[in-house]
Amino acid sequence: MKYSSKRIIDILGKIKILSHENVGHEICGFVGKKDGKYVIESAKNISTDIKNYFCVDPVQYLLFKNNYDLLMCYHSHVVGDESFSEFDIVMAENSCIPFLVYALNTQKFNIYSPKTSESDVNIVERFKERI
């Protein structure tokens, strides 16, 4: 599923809706930009423990990255709050992509920016201002 909007707040709202529609497992996907519009694409969570972790298909990741300016990877936390797990931090650092987390329990977002990022840091900062 793809969804696009010119407004960051609409993208965050859509991720929130998707998270609440799927309370039994972590959702995941990508946020990108193309032709002046922000885009989110849901990914199938292929983790063996979808309640506590997420894993995306590498082919879907590469296809998204090929078609859009990849800004960040998003996922929900079904348990706990919007704090980043050790797994989240390691994966963001290894992929050089910011991670956007939405926590169902607190209904809050958080963004982790890795030390080295392939994303447009100015746009990521604009997302941080909206959460």
pLDDT in tens, 3-55: 888 899 999 999 999 999 999 999 999 999 999 999 999 999 999 999 888 99
Contact 127, 9 (CB under 8 A): no
The 3-state DSSP class for residue 54 equals coil
Rounded CA separation 45/125 (Å): 26
Contact 71, 119 (CB under 8 A): yes
Query: Which architecture characterizes domain 2-130 according to CATH?
Result: 3-Layer(aba) Sandwich (3.40)
* pTM of the entire predicted model: 0.93
